[in-house]
Structure 1
Amino acid sequence: MDTLSKLFGGAAKVKMLKLFIFNPDEAFDTTYIADRTKESLGKVRRELSLLHKAGFIKKRTFFKTIENGRGGKPTKRKTNGWTLDRKFVYLAPLRSFLISMNQFGPKHIASKLQRSGNMKLIIVSGVFIQEPDSRVDLLIVGDHLKKNVLDNAIRTIEAEMGKEIRYAVFETPDFQYRYGLYDKLIRDILDFPHKKMLDRIGIS
């Protein structure tokens, strides 16, 4: 991210470029973009203005699902937002460049997750290794896992990647039990392309 930030003028812009490029059919409002990138609304508005002037994004009206509290049914509200402009002249080379730079090594992922508990197994698949048909992108196994800390770590990785991550989390005893029973989700992860970032269990 540091190299990209220097090239493109800041981490906020890099995260927004990834968000639009890796979700080309989606539209986002300013509040959602700020939440996904973990940047301030003011900074997001400034970057959106620059990206719009550059022809990278365009305005789009869409229906946003609003969650209602206290068990109320979700409602849809017409919202003004932004989406990728597929006519952007440098879209193809920019997408290829960001994909080539969107590599997360073992140390990087482990460092993001280490405060979430005692990590025993971290496996990546899906978006991390360009396998879109994988059931999950990230498998996490550990002891004394802290859900809130883990959720925040995942959101940080999502902000850096520009894409939502499908992930599965297990405490070590639960994972070992499922592994012994040839649980379908576990087998779908292990029997198809994946990479082990950390393995203190000894998975074959």
Structure 2
Amino acid sequence: MSEILETLFGSRAKTRLLRFFLLNPEGEYSVMEIAQKNMLTNAQVRKELNSLKKIKFVIEKSKKNQKHYILNRNFHFYPELKGLIAKSNIYPQCKSLGKIKGIGDVKLALISGIFLNHPKSKVDMILVINNTSRGKLKNVMNNLEAEVGKEVSFVLMNSEEFKYRLDMLDRFLMDFLEGPYDEIVNKIPGLKRFVAGIKKY
């Protein structure tokens, strides 16, 4: 048991792989796919996969003459590890969230969902940005997904669309604002007062 636990933890690469497989239990991935999704090198991935394969955390399969890896849900500590991941708040560890401010003229950035362990949220982020740099947005999202271990779902709109949705009491937006969320950026005048008002009822 001690050997298994020592193998499970120890490096950033290993932690990312553990989280990735636990959050994507159905997927089968090649070394290249795992490396790209987790912002790791192929060498790092191969090293960690070899140790995780030894303790039967992952299963190796051959698919079109290429090795693919899938989570072994019969792994002895699977329920405990899944529970640990579910309870862990990923938000403080996500350094890439700070880079959102450089995507454009950011008026609002709210997080929920995967970041706050709120699975009922329909999206993980709401972004209100004018003059968005698509390249920077893609880069930030790729980094975030590597830190989180899963695809980040988000809604992007400009100030005009956000104001329209807010004025119309858009159901999707109201559901998000009524649930738990954290602010990364909030430059929308009166939004906090508005949210406090809808949460009263």
TM bracket (short chain): 0.7 to 0.9
Of Structure 1 and Structure 2, the greater helix share is in 2
Q: TM-score, normalised by structure 1?
A: 0.78
Separation (CA, whole Å) in 2 of partners of 1:43 and 1:110:
24
Q: Which amino acid aligns with 1:87?
A: N
Q: Over the residues paired in the alignment, what is the CA RMSD in angstroms?
A: 2.5
The answer on 1:199 being equivalent to 2:186 is: yes
Residues 33-91 of structure 1, C-alpha deviations (whole Å, 9 max, x = no match): 011011111221121111101211012356xxxxxxxxxxxxxx786411111122222
Matches within 5 A, 1:34-113: 34-60=35-61, 80-105=67-92, 108=95, 110-113=97-100
Separation (CA, whole Å) in 1 of partners of 2:179 and 2:62:
39
Q: Which amino acid aligns with 1:83?
A: I
Match of 1:27, SS?
Answer: coil
Q: TM-score, normalised by structure 2?
A: 0.79
Change (3 A) 1:190 1:78: farther
Separation (CA, whole Å) in 1 of partners of 2:179 and 2:95:
23
Match of 2:91, SS?
Answer: coil
Q: How many residues align?
A: 184
CA contact under 8 A between 1:121 and 1:199: conserved in structure 2? Answer: yes
Deviation at 1:181, TM superposition (A): 2.4
Of Structure 1 and Structure 2, the greater strand share is in 1
Matches within 5 A, 1:157-172: 157-172=144-159
Match of 2:117, SS?
Answer: coil
Residues 157-188 of structure 1, C-alpha deviations (whole Å, 9 max, x = no match): 11111111111111222212222223343233
Separation (CA, whole Å) in 2 of partners of 1:172 and 1:109:
23
Change (3 A) 1:134 1:25: same
CA contact under 8 A between 1:15 and 1:162: conserved in structure 2? Answer: yes
Identity of aligned residues (%): 28
